[in-house]
A and B are shown apart, each in its own frame.
Chain A
Amino acid sequence: MRITVRRTGGMAGISREWSATVDAEEEGWRELLDRLPRDAAQGGADGADRFIYLVVCASDPETDEWRCEIPERNFTGPWQELLDRVRDTPE
């Protein structure tokens, strides 16, 4: 599975993107993917200049399995853990 985390917004308006190809059946990843609170995507912009995260998980490059746009204030817990793990996964 290809996991891409794209961060846009922020005062500087500079986008960053991190991605990794992982084995979604491997226990550590499966457990983390199951724990992601998809309802965190709810809620609009809070204030101004905050980051917005777009998480895309695709098993096939042509078909997005799912995507979630999450405002910064909800990008905590398992979402932050996901980003940390994606960053730490060697290409």
Chain B
Amino acid sequence: MPCSVVPPYLLARLATAEDPRYAVAAGAARRALLIDEPLRRGRCETPASAQGAPTAPGVRAAAGPHRTIYDARGETELPGEVVRQENEAPTGDVAVDEAYEGLGQTHRLLLDVYGRASIDGRNMRLDAVVHYGVRYDNAFWDGSRMVFGDGDGEVFDRFTRSLSVIGHELAHGLTQFTAGLIYEGQSGALSEHVSDVIGSLVEQYARGEMAAEASWLIGEGLFTPLVEGRALRSMLEPGSAYDDDVIGKDPQPAHMRDYIRTTDDNGGVHLNSGIPNRAFALTALALGGPAWERAGHIWYDTLTGPLSPTSDFVAFAEATTDAAARRFGAGSEEERAVRSGWSEVGVLP
């Protein structure tokens, strides 16, 4: 019979504590509640990664991550060969170990801060593939796993180098299991935006950075030293991340007046995401403190709340102000900061 030192009612109170002074305790309490949950329901969930192996009766289903890293060995067949599983020691292959750590950091943010076990809320296994293709300049979410290229070595370094990129890819899974935003036009740009928000928050949470200290960059360190650029995108100053002879200038707009209409890139999903990105960064900076707490909670509530898969920027902006009012009260500082963020980028009046 398992015995918990902290009584469940106290865990529940701690888990919902909003005071930033209790952030660590609140995260730990949420983890403990989730770990104990299957026991209270009298069953154990077997992670998919452990399926096929016999599960001893009474084994605690942990809320911790279930990570599996595969090596595609330069091929494009997915998923490749298993090279590192949960609780296994580092392999010495930097891409494998960065992917493993990055999945863990993303899982930790979702669980500690938002009380969500993995991207589906049911502690789904997290799979990542590294060394995909030859000199492959990309990272993507294929609907069930993350895939990372090594980069060409001239413009891009390996894509696992950036924690915000790993968080970004995993957040596409989170969106798939929640709002299901359609990957086209404005709803697609919102999917990209949500991934940048989570990617940036994973990095800030791992570093313990306050909103004012954060770089607000996505994909810092991905460019080789040959490229004139800091990162792939700047959430705070869209359009300023790079300006280079070979790859050109960062094309992201920062305001609705510069919204890009195009058929490229599923209707500019990686371009127009600059607009909501800036609204989020401005909101987080106005509120101060850790961005994952107040601004992050409002965006998380929006993503997991009643949101149409075809939402446009205005619908999403209104959903965030509603979420702020629900969590912090109508007319609260938080609701005003959200409204003001969207207003500054021209989405709301």
Are A11 and B183 in touch, CB under 8 angstroms?
Answer: no
Q: Given the known A-B contacts A11-B138, A12-B270, are A49 and B172 also in contact in the complex, defined by CB atoms under 8 Å?
A: yes
Chain B residues with Cβ below 8 Å from A52 are 264-266
In the assembled complex, which residues on chain A have CB atoms less than 8 Å from the CB atom of B195?
48
Q: Please tell me if B159 contacts chain A, counting CB pairs below 8 Å.
A: yes
Q: How far is the CA of A57 from the CA of B232 in the complex (A)?
A: 31
A87 to B140, CA, bound (A): 24
CB distance from A7 to the nearest CB of B (A): 9
| Number of A interface residues in the complex (CB < 8 A) | 18
Q: Is the CB of B140 within 8 A of A45?
A: no
Known contacts A11-B159, A13-B265, A13-B270; A46 and B232 CB within 8 A of each other: no
* Chain A residues in 8 Å Cβ range of B266: 9, 45, 52
The bracket for how many chain B residues form the interface is 20 to 34
CB contacts (< 8 Å) of A37 on chain B: these are none
CB distance from B95 to the nearest CB of A (A): 15
Contact B264 A11 (CB under 8 A): no
Shortest CB-to-CB span from B262 to chain A, Å, is 8
The answer, yes or no, to whether A51 is at the interface (CB within 8 Å) is yes
Cross-chain contact A8 with B140 (CB below 8 angstroms): no
Inter-subunit contact B271/A48 (CB<8 Å): no
Bound CA–CA A13/B264 (angstroms): 10
CB neighbours (8 Å) of B168 from chain A are 11, 49
Residues from 115 to 143 in B contacting A, C-beta threshold 8 Å: 137-143
**Nearest CB to that of A15 among chain B residues?**
B264
Chain A: which residue is nearest B138 at the CB level? A10
B140 with A49: CB separation less than 8 A: yes
The answer to whether B139 touches A49, judged by C-beta atoms less than 8 angstroms apart, is yes
Interface membership of A2, Cβ < 8 A: no
**How close is A15's CB to chain B, nearest CB, in angstroms?**
6
Q: Which residues of A contact B141 (CB under 8 A)?
A: 47-49
Residues of A within 8 A of B222 (CB): 12
Q: Are A12 and B264 in contact (CB under 8 A)?
A: no
Contact: A47 with B138, CB < 8 Å? no
B265 lies within 8 A of A49 (CB): no
B71 beta carbon closer than 8 Å to chain A: no
- Whether the pair A50, B219 counts as a contact (CB closer than 8 A) is no
Please tell me if B234 contacts chain A, counting CB pairs below 8 Å.
no
In the complex, whether B165 has a CB less than 8 A from a CB of chain A is: yes
A residues in contact with B264, CB < 8 Å: 6, 8-9, 15, 52, 54
Q: Given that A9-B270, A13-B271 are contacting pairs, would A48 and B265 also be in contact in the complex, using a CB cutoff of 8 Å? A: no
Chain A residues closer than 8 Å to B165, beta-carbon distance = 11
A-B contact pairs, 13 of them (CB 8 A): A9-B264, A10-B138, A12-B137, A12-B138, A13-B252, A13-B270, A15-B265, A45-B184, A48-B169, A48-B191, A49-B168, A50-B138, A52-B266
Measured CB to CB, the residues of A under 8 A from B are 6, 8-15, 45-52, 54
Give B contacts to A, CB under 8 Å: 137-143, 156, 159, 165, 168-169, 172, 183-184, 191-192, 195, 219, 222, 232-233, 247-248, 251-252, 264-266, 269-271
- Those 9 A-B pairs whose CB atoms lie nearest each other, nearest first: A13-B270, A8-B264, A49-B140, A48-B172, A8-B265, A47-B142, A47-B143, A10-B138, A47-B141
